[in-house]
Amino acid sequence: SASAGIPGYIDSYLFAEKAILRKKALKTSEAANVAAFLLSEQSSGINGQSLVVDAGMGLNYFDADIVQKAVN
């Protein structure tokens, strides 16, 4: 992605990957599966919602306690 050229971005991304509960980033196929579900009849009851699909990376992974546990 274009943001990969930002100094420190890759290190921050790799740290975030270690800090999230599942210890791995979101795969493209996982995001695609969510999109396919939302386009399917199975999601017909979902209306006007926001859905964050980021494997937990959007959670506060810079929390001091989480940072300490991730680096130890």
Please report, for the domain that includes residue 26, its CATH number. 1.10.8
Q: pTM of the prediction? A: 0.61
What backbone torsions phi and psi does residue 36 show, to the nearest 5 degrees? -65, -40
Domain count of the fold of the chain: 1
Q: Which domain holds residue 33?
A: 2-71
Give the amino acid at 67.
V
Greatest mean pLDDT among 38-42, 52-56, 63-67 lies in: 38-42
- 3-34 core/surface letters (b: 16 or more CB in 10 A; e: else): eeeeeeeeeeeeebbebbeeeeebeeeeeeee
Higher pLDDT, 7 or 29: 29
Q: What is the pLDDT of residue 28?
A: 93
Per the CB < 8 A criterion, the answer to whether 20 and 55 are in contact is yes
